[in-house]
């Protein structure tokens, strides 16, 4: 028996995972450059060694682990809501029976065909792969999550924002410690790794806390004058502050929204463990 407090704690943790993962995908400029299938083919360029190199991965790459997890979640909810009686577990079992247990190689076309067989809807399978696997169109998560009692929303919608930046202090100045993201205010102003912030509207923040206090006085859409030095050259730019796009996912309960019987049923079926009995023993190992 799980108490209400324990249940909500677990739901909160799951919602936090969903929020971090959605934010990593939907707010990354890399999503517009490469599809999930293309991201997976970039694996050899993103092993632990790449972290030592001054690459521009924040603008070009999303972890295929994160991408894959959220594609699975989106497909699972789509199957449950569009094809009653079907879910991701059944899809994975079908793939195991066709390819895994038989140790038979498979292709992306085989995965698409299996999804068509499971749903009895080849057009759905074709569109899902074309749009979300081989294409860059994101799944529309909001209505899917709503049906399971979760609401995706902006974390700080009223906060003025420069971008998801990392700072360090050099020569008494805030210095960008990582690449700026394409489309963010600092990127558009011409700031990038190594650039030193001199002032914003003539104020000279010497720490991240001072910068945060300065930004609290502003609102999204405000235009400010920013001065910085990059590669020894002093520059001035007019910069328009954005709305912080960071996302979170919140359970209905934290928003004082009531769970309907349908919503509760879908959530419980979605999150319930399918494990039962003894785990099968392994008889073969990958060398």
Instruction: Label each residue of 224-245 as H, E or C.
Output: EEEEEEECCEEEEEEEECEECC
Q: Are 246 and 154 in contact (CB under 8 A)?
A: yes
The DSSP-derived string for 237-287 is EEEEPEEP--EEEEEGGGGTPPPPHHHHHHHHHHHS----SPPPPP-----
Q: Are 34 and 136 in contact (CB under 8 A)?
A: yes
pLDDT value at residue 282: 45
pLDDT value at residue 6: 56
At residue 254's C-alpha, the angle toward residues 21 and 149, to 5°, is 65
Query: What is the arithmetic mean of pLDDT over 126-154?
Result: 97
pLDDT digits (tens, 9 = 90+) for 225-274: 999 999 989 999 999 999 999 999 999 999 999 999 999 999 999 998 77
Task: Give dist(CA 270, CA 260) in Å, integer.
Answer: 15
pLDDT digits (tens, 9 = 90+) for 99-137: 999 899 999 999 999 999 999 999 999 999 999 999 999
pLDDT value at residue 74: 97
Q: Are 164 and 183 in contact (CB under 8 A)?
A: no
Q: Return the higher-pLDDT residue of 80 and 172.
A: 80
Task: Give dist(CA 20, CA 24) in Å, integer.
Answer: 6
pLDDT value at residue 1: 46
41 confidence band (pLDDT: 50, 70, 90):
confident
pLDDT value at residue 150: 97
pLDDT averaged over every residue in the chain: 90
pLDDT value at residue 40: 84
pLDDT value at residue 203: 95
**pLDDT for residue 153 is more than 80:** yes
Q: Are 147 and 81 in contact (CB under 8 A)?
A: yes
Query: What is the arithmetic mean of pLDDT over 273-287?
Result: 55
Task: For CA atoms 146, 37, 124, 267, give the dihedral sign.
Answer: negative
If we measure between CA atoms, which residue out of 204, 201, 183, 179 comes closest to residue 191?
179
155: CB partners within 8 A, 6+ apart = 19, 244, 246, 247, 248
147: CB partners within 8 A, 6+ apart = 77, 81, 262, 263, 266
pLDDT value at residue 210: 96
Task: Give dist(CA 241, CA 185) in Å, integer.
Answer: 6
Tokens describing residue 226 = 């920013």
Query: What is the arithmetic mean of pLDDT over 70-97?
Result: 96
Which helix (H) or strand (E) covers residue 223, if one does?
strand 223-230
């Amino acid at each position: 028996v799980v108490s209400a407090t324990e249940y909500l704690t677990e739901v909160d943790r799951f919602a936090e995972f969903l929020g971090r993962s959605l934010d990593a995908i939907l707010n990354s400029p890399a999503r517009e450059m490469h599809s999930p299938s293309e991201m997976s083919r970039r694996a050899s360029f993103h092993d632990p060694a790449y972290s030592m190199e001054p690459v521009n991965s924040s603008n070009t790459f999303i972890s295929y682990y994160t991408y894959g997890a959220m594609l699975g979640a989106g497909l699972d909810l789509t199957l449950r809501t569009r094809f009653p009686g079907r879910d991701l577990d059944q899809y994975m079992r079908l793939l195991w029976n066709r390819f895994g247990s038989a140790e038979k190689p498979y292709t992306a076309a085989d995965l698409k065909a299996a999804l068509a067989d499971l749903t009895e809807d080849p057009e759905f399978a074709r569109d899902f792969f074309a749009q979300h696997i081989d294409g860059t169109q994101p799944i529309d998560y909001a209505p899917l999550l709503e049906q399971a009692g979760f609401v995706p929303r902006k974390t700080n919608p009223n906060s003025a924002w420069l971008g998801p930046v990392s700072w360090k202090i050099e020569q008494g100045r805030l210095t960008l410690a990582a690449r700026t993201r394409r489309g963010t205010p600092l990127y558009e102003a011409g700031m990038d790794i190594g650039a030193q912030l001199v002032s914003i509207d003539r104020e000279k923040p010497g720490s991240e806390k001072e910068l945060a206090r300065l930004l609290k006085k502003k609102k999204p859409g405000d235009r400010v004058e920013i001065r910085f030095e990059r590669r020894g050259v002093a520059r001035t730019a007019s910069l328009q502050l954005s709305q912080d796009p960071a996302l979170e996912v919140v359970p209905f309960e934290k928003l004082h929204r009531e769970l309907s019987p349908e919503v509760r049923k879908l959530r419980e079926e979605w999150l319930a463990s399918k494990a039962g009995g003894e785990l099968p023993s392994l008889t073969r190992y990958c060398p």
